[in-house]
Amino acid sequence: MTRIAIVEGDGIGHEVIPVARSALELLHPEYDLFTVDVGYGMWERTGCPCADKEIREMKDADAILFGAITTPPMKDYQSVVLRIRKALDLYANLRPVKDGGFDIMIVRENTEGLYSGIEESSPDRATTLRVVTRTGAERIVRMAIKLARQRRKLLTIGHKANVLKSDVLFRDICIAEAKASGVSYNDKFIDALSLDVLQHPASYDVVVTTNIFGDILSDVASYLVGGLGLVPSANIGERYALFEPVHGSAPDIAGKNLANPIAALRSAGMLLTHVGDAEGEDQIESAIRAVLAQGIKTRDLGGSAGTREFGEAVLRVLEQTARRA
C-alpha cells in the first residue's frame, strides 16, 4: 500500500494542504494518508518543533506532502525545514515554472550552500558559512542533466563565479559534467540570469544553481505564472521525496480563507507522478485550469474565491473526471 505522510506545518499550511489531501483521497482512496505534526505550532505546544519520532514517521512514507513552516527569528530555534532536508538527504529541489509558452525546471542544490546551517553570532558580528562541495555539486548537476535529457536537452548553469570562489568550484564542476554528458549547456551570472528568465522565459529548459540562488530565482520566476501561490516543488533524495508549495506560511493571512491552494494542489500532482501516477497529476492540472477558465479565482489572481471555495470547485471537477473514468 502506498503511504503518504501529510504535514500541514504552520500558517496557511493548515488551509491549503487539506485541499491537496482531499484531491489525493479522491483520486486514490486506497492510499494510506497519515498526519505528521511538525513546526512552530508544535514547538509552542511541546518545546520541540521536530523530534526524532517525526523524522522516523516521514521516513516510513513513500512520499511526503508538506505545507509551510514558520521559522521565528530566535537564536536557539532549529530550522525544521533544514533538519528534514538533512535527515532525509533531500539534496535536489525541483521547481517547475511553466505556462503555454515556456516550461522551465529550476534545479536547486538543497543541502549546503548558504543554507549549510553552520553559523555563529555575537552582538557585533554574525557569520554563515557558505559550503559548496564536489560531492554536492556533482550530484545536483547530474540530477539536472538527467532531467534535461528527458526534456529539451538544454542546461543553464546559474552562478556568481566572478565574485565567489565557492561558485568557481560549482561552475567548473557543472561544466565538466555537462561536457561529459553531451548535453548542450551555457552558464550565466545569477543576477543577469534572473532578469533574462523574466524577459525570455522560452529560452530556458533546465536551470541548475546553488541553494540560495535557486531559492531566489524560483521566486522571481514565479512572477511569470502569477505568483508564489501557483508554484509547486519537489525535494528529492536517493530514498525519500517531499513535495511542497514554494510559498511560505504567510502568517499575515493565515486563517482568513485567503490563501491560494493551487501550489499545494500542484505539489500533490508532482507527488502522484513520483509514486507512479502521472495521469493523476494531469487530472489535477486539468481541474485547476478548468476552474480558472470558469472565472473562479482567489484574490491574488484578481478573483473573490476563498481557499475553501476554490478548493471545492477543483474537487468537483476532479470528482466528475473520476466518475467518467
Local structure of residue 67 (DSSP, 8 states): E
From the list 37, 103, 196, 219, the catalytic residue is: 219
**Whole-angstrom Cα distance, residue 236 to residue 249?**
21
Q: Is position 191 annotated as part of the catalytic site?
A: yes
How is 234-299 classified by DSSP, letter by letter? Answer: EEE-SS-EEEEESS---TTTTTTT----HHHHHHHHHHHHHTT-HHHHHHHHHHHHHHHHTT--BG
From the list 187, 215, 240, 277, the catalytic residue is: 215
Smallest CA-to-CA distance from 203 within 141, 155, 149, 140 is with 155
From the list 31, 40, 91, 115, the catalytic residue is: 115
From the list 86, 91, 160, 187, the catalytic residue is: 160
In Å, how far are 100, 127, 136, 137, 206 from 159, measured between CA atoms?
Answer: 28, 21, 15, 12, 14
* Angle at which helices 13-27 and 278-293 cross, to 10°: 120
Q: Is position 277 annotated as part of the catalytic site?
A: no
Local structure of residue 131 (DSSP, 8 states): B
Q: Is position 215 annotated as part of the catalytic site?
A: yes
From the list 60, 191, 223, 256, the catalytic residue is: 191
Q: Is position 115 annotated as part of the catalytic site?
A: yes
**Whole-angstrom Cα distance, residue 246 to residue 229?**
8
State the catalytic residues: 115, 160, 191, 215, 219
